[in-house]
A and B are shown apart, each in its own frame.
Chain A
């Protein structure tokens, strides 16, 4: 079984540019979570979806961040414009019935 797939694995961009991170959850999972991890703040939940509908986006740091899930097999997290403080590892995770979460390999974002 394929796990959670994320792309790109690494992204280096300049401040002010738009960044789009992509995620394909495990087939059949109905929950999808976007996290950000830094040394200083640990693992932070940004937003999660249930059946493609955003349920809680209170963790999204500001309006520069947006997330969509147009169908059950695809989600995007967009940052526009990007800033150096957005540099982090972004993880996507999925689960069935909201229980055990399975993580993708992550996208390491560096904003210069």
Chain B
């Protein structure tokens, strides 16, 4: 069973702090890794993707991938109340183009 695991939260972070979201996956053949943000009542929105080990930065967001340990994380610097949402981790297997989805972590940024 190929799985993607996330802590469901809620994760509460004060405004201006760094929010750290984590995701582990079971299939070592996983090739591509995605972070989506979903506001309540809205559709998932792609915010970051990463393919190689290491860090990838985009504005206030940094995705970190460690294939040896099979985890991917998302850091949000200078957290804003507008970052409050559910963050979904998704993993693309080598064998096909399906994304395996985590259940999501609910993030709450407190002013």
- List CB contacts (< 8 Å) of A29-45 with chain B: 31, 42-43, 45
B residues contacting the other copy or chain, number (CB 8 A)? 18
**Is A25 positioned at the interface, with any CB of B under 8 Å from its CB?**
no
- A42-B103, A42-B104 known; A98 vs B46 contact (CB < 8 Å): no
Chain B positions within 8 Å of A104 at CB level:
43
Chain B positions within 8 Å of A43 at CB level:
44, 88, 101
Q: Is the interface of B mostly helix, strand, loop or mixed?
A: strand
Among B32, B46, B90, the one with the most A-chain Cβ atoms within 10 Å of its Cβ is B46
Q: Is the CB of A48 within 8 A of B45?
A: no
Interface membership of chain B positions 84-111, coded 1 if the CB is closer than 8 angstroms to chain A and 0 otherwise = 0000101010001111010110000000
What are 14 sample pairs from A and B whose C-beta atoms fall under 8 A apart?
Answer: A45-B101, A50-B97, A55-B96, A55-B97, A98-B96, A98-B97, A99-B32, A99-B49, A99-B92, A100-B49, A101-B90, A104-B43, A105-B43, A106-B43
Partner-A contacts on B (CB < 8 A) = 32, 34, 42-46, 49, 88, 90, 92, 96-99, 101, 103-104
Partner-B contacts on A (CB < 8 A) = 31, 42-43, 45, 48, 50, 55-56, 91, 95, 98-106
